[in-house]
Homo-oligomer: A and B are copies of this chain.
Amino acid sequence: MTVQASARAVTARSAIMRAAERLYATEGFAGVSIRQIGEAAGQRNKSAVQYHFTSRDELVKAILAEHAEAMEVHRLAMMSRLGEPGAMSPRDRIRCVVLPHIEHHIDLGVPSWYGRFLAQVVVEPALREYAVSVHLERPSLRRLYDATREPGEPDPGRTARREAMTRVLIVHMCAELERDLAAGDTTAVGRDLAAGDATAASAATAWRRLGDDLVTAVCGLLGALRSDPR
């Protein structure tokens, strides 16, 4: 491939990924064909999506990988500031789990599509296992979760459940705020955001507030489950 052809391929791949996440976020997997994605991405060749990605699932995995990389940059930066997971406060560990999602959404701007896209991927039977294992269980995340496990905790079922609850809250609450912001709905983002005032700054405020609420909620949830005598 020449340098120009290679650059064109990168541009086409990127246009297809952006069109796919936007269309899937707003129309659902069942409402969008591979051909519609190619058209929305400005590809004249009807087989462009198959050419660049082979299948819907490979396209989805490429989108997930790109976002996971971007989020990982935020997480590793936070972790290098805060030190080893074992030496962090429980709240700081949860911050490192939750806030990279928030910072990534702030980077994406308004409207974004990734939150609603991810919420659909994690319940899609053909994709959820990939999404959970590769995207949401990065090594950095595993170190954080492992550090929250206490020595006398033998029940693997309950450990898995706590992590699943944390993941479910992050993924689906981010999707809900993204939807509200895209729709210009400000009731769910807090009373100090006046209607129509979804500027980048107030969107960032709404995201950070969600991040704080998620950190507080997850800490409360984990503490309650831990002290439950069961």
A172 contacts partner chain B, Cβ-Cβ < 8 Å: yes
Task: Assess the B220–A225 pair: CB atoms within 8 A.
Answer: yes
Separation of A67 and B192 alpha carbons in the complex (Å): 38
Residues from chain B with Cβ under 8 Å of A123 in the complex:
116, 119-120, 123, 172, 175
For A116, A157, A160, the residue with the greatest tally of chain B CB atoms inside 10 Å of its CB is A157
Q: Mark A181-214, 1 if CB is under 8 A from B, else 0.
A: 0000001111100000000000000000110110
Interface size on A, residues (CB 8 A): 50
Separation of A217 and B227 alpha carbons in the complex (Å): 11
A30 contacts partner chain B, Cβ-Cβ < 8 Å: yes
A224 contacts partner chain B, Cβ-Cβ < 8 Å: yes
A130 contacts partner chain B, Cβ-Cβ < 8 Å: no
A44 contacts partner chain B, Cβ-Cβ < 8 Å: no
Q: Mark A153-177, 1 if CB is under 8 A from B, else 0.
A: 0111110110011001100110110
Quick one: which of A140-157 are within 8 Å of B by CB?
A: 154-157
A26 contacts partner chain B, Cβ-Cβ < 8 Å: yes
Task: Assess the A191–B155 pair: CB atoms within 8 A.
Answer: yes
Chain A interface (Cβ < 8 Å from any Cβ of B): 25-31, 116, 119-120, 123-126, 154-158, 160-161, 164-165, 168-169, 172-173, 175-176, 187-191, 209-210, 212-213, 216-225, 228, 230
Could you jot down 7 A-B contacts, CB within 8 Å? A123-B123, A157-B191, A160-B188, A161-B188, A165-B169, A212-B228, A221-B224
The list of the 8 closest CB pairs from A to B, nearest first, reads A220-B224, A29-B30, A30-B30, A168-B172, A157-B190, A220-B220, A217-B221, A221-B221
